[in-house]
Amino acid sequence: MIRTVERAFAIFEAFDHKQTMLTLQEIGKRIGLSKATTYRLVNCLYELGYLVRLEDNRYCLSLKLTRLSGLVRSTLGIRDVARPIMRELVKTIGETVTLNTLSGDQRICIEVFDTPAPLMSIVRTGEQRTLLSGATGKIMLAYVSKTEIDRIFRKTPANKRPNRAVLDKQLARFRKQGYALISNEHVQGVTAVSVPIRDVSGEVRYCVSIYGPSVRIDPRADELIGRLLAAGAAISSQLGARVNDGDAATDDGKSDKKSQPRKRAAA
């Protein structure tokens, strides 16, 4: 039964803003099921009123889904979704976890779960920093348009700008691997790891980060990156992001191909 439910939802996920109408064969190809299995599931969803069969035998999502989407809690925000996942992550890894949002040229910390360890990196709710430095700022900067990066760079005083060629290479690497890992940039001896959070439109306006002393974070980098990627994906999914919205992005902010296997980035 669980497998059938998963397959049914996979059919809904097969549709996107580029392909709002699909044939039976196209649906089967997108979800990786045989024609017979796809037919049974599609026909069931059609009879239940969740799919519409058009005159050319293509299918599209029905307005019944629109009605159900209207029942989603209008006050459900990023904090509601992220807090349980962040709390569990802190219990698992024992390091500080923060939730951050994009606000103009700044990134703002909007939620913090502190590590229980006595040696800690202090991050406060409401803290603001430029997007041009640190793992948290740069992971969000990696997903804005080149035009916006140019504007932010020009607006920043020359003595506070990083080397542009180095920055561009960093951002390209962060987009490709799906996370940012930086040490000793804001505070000596502190390492931060950040991953993007995508919303229902696939845009990156939030990120979740791990902060801690480099002496503890660096030896566990691969483990922490993996756990943070999973947490970011879970939050994104609950915000309505599609599975493939996490693919690596090009300089235009559009999806390219799936991210390569994880590797540690240089600080």
> Could you tell me what percent of the chain has a pLDDT over 70?
86
Average model confidence (pLDDT) for the chain? 85
Q: Residue 172 — very low, low, confident or very high, per pLDDT cuts 50/70/90? A: very high
Check residue 159 and give its pLDDT: 87
Domains of the chain: 2-69 (1.10.10.10), 78-246 (3.30.450.40)
Kindly state the average pLDDT of the residues 54-62: 89
Interacting residues of 140 by C-beta distance below 8 A, sequence separation 6+: 100, 102, 107, 131, 196, 204, 205, 206, 207
Q: Is the pLDDT of residue 10 over 60?
A: yes
Q: What is the pLDDT of residues 141-164, one digit of tens each?
A: 999 999 999 999 998 898 888 999
Check residue 163 and give its pLDDT: 92
Check residue 241 and give its pLDDT: 83
pTM of the entire structure?
0.70
Check residue 38 and give its pLDDT: 92
For residues 216 and 265, which has the higher predicted lDDT (pLDDT)?
A: 216
Check residue 254 and give its pLDDT: 37
> Could you tell me what percent of the chain has a pLDDT over 90?
54
Check residue 120 and give its pLDDT: 78
Q: Is the pLDDT of residue 267 over 60?
A: no
Most confident of 56-65, 87-96, 184-193: 87-96
Kindly state the average pLDDT of the residues 13-32: 90
Check residue 69 and give its pLDDT: 65
